C-alpha cells in the first residue's frame, strides 16, 4: 500500500493553492513608459482580469505610430484567466486532500505548462501590436516587438517591462508545489 503524503506536504500544497488564488487580486505584469514629456512615466498594469494605468494616454500616443488601441476587450484571456487560476488552485487542494504521492507531479506540471503558454501568449500579443502598424500613421516606424521583461527604446520613449506581485505569488506557489518532493524523499 502506497504511503500517504505527510502533513507537511499537505500544508505546502494548501499554501501553494492559497498563493495562486491570491494572485488574482494583484497585477502580474506591467510596462512603464518614460519620455521627456512624461518624466513621471506612464503605466500599463495587467491583472489576470483587467488592464489598468494610463491606457487612454498610451493609446493616444500609439495612434501616432499606427498601433491599434488596446483595452480589456482586446484580450479575451482576461475573461477566463481568473477561472483557470481558481481551477488550478482547486486541483492543488484536491491533490493535497487525496494525499497520493503520484499526484504530486500534477501541480508543478500544470504550472510549467500554464506559465509557458502564458509567456507564449504575451509574446504573440506584443508581436501583434508592435508589428501590425498602420502604414498611414503620422509617424512611420519599423515594426518592433516590445520585450516581456527588460528595456526597449522607441523614438524618445524608454519602456521598462516587468513581472510584478501576482507573478511572484505564482512563482512562490510553484516552489511550494515542489517542496513535497523534498519532504517525501525518505518515505
120-164 pLDDT, tens per residue?
Answer: 999 999 999 999 999 999 998 888 999 999 999 988 899 999 999
| % residues pLDDT > 70 (the chain) | 98
Handedness of CA 134, 137, 142, 148 (dihedral sign): negative
Going from N- to C-terminal start, the domains of the chain cover: 7-183
What tens digit of pLDDT does each residue of 29-50 get? Answer: 999 999 999 999 999 999 999 9
Q: For the beta carbon of residue 183, count every other beta carbon within 10 angstroms.
A: 18
> 177 CB contacts (<8 Å, ≥6 apart)?
12, 13, 16, 92, 104, 107, 108, 111
Amino acid at each position: 500500500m502506497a504511503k500517504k503524503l505527510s502533513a507537511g506536504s499537505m500544508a505546502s500544497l494548501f499554501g501553494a493553492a492559497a498563493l495562486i488564488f491570491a494572485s488574482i487580486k494583484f497585477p502580474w505584469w506591467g510596462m512603464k513608459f518614460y519620455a521627456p514629456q512624461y518624466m513621471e512615466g506612464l503605466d500599463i498594469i495587467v491583472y489576470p482580469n483587467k488592464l489598468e494605468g494610463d491606457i487612454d494616454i498610451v493609446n493616444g500616443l500609439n495612434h501616432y505610430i499606427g498601433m491599434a488601441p488596446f483595452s480589456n476587450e482586446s484580450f479575451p484571456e482576461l475573461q477566463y484567466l481568473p477561472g483557470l487560476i481558481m481551477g488550478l488552485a482547486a486541483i492543488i487542494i484536491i491533490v493535497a486532500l487525496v494525499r497520493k504521492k503520484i499526484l504530486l507531479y500534477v501541480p508543478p506540471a500544470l504550472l510549467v505548462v500554464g506559465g509557458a503558454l502564458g509567456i507564449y501568449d504575451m509574446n504573440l500579443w506584443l508581436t501583434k501590436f508592435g508589428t501590425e502598424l498602420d502604414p498611414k500613421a503620422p509617424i512611420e516606424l519599423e515594426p518592433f516587438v516590445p520585450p516581456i521583461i527588460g528595456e526597449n527604446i522607441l523614438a524618445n520613449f524608454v519602456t521598462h517591462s516587468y513581472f510584478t506581485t501576482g507573478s511572484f505569488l505564482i512563482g512562490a506557489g510553484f516552489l511550494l508545489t515542489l517542496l513535497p518532493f523534498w519532504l517525501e524523499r525518505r518515505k
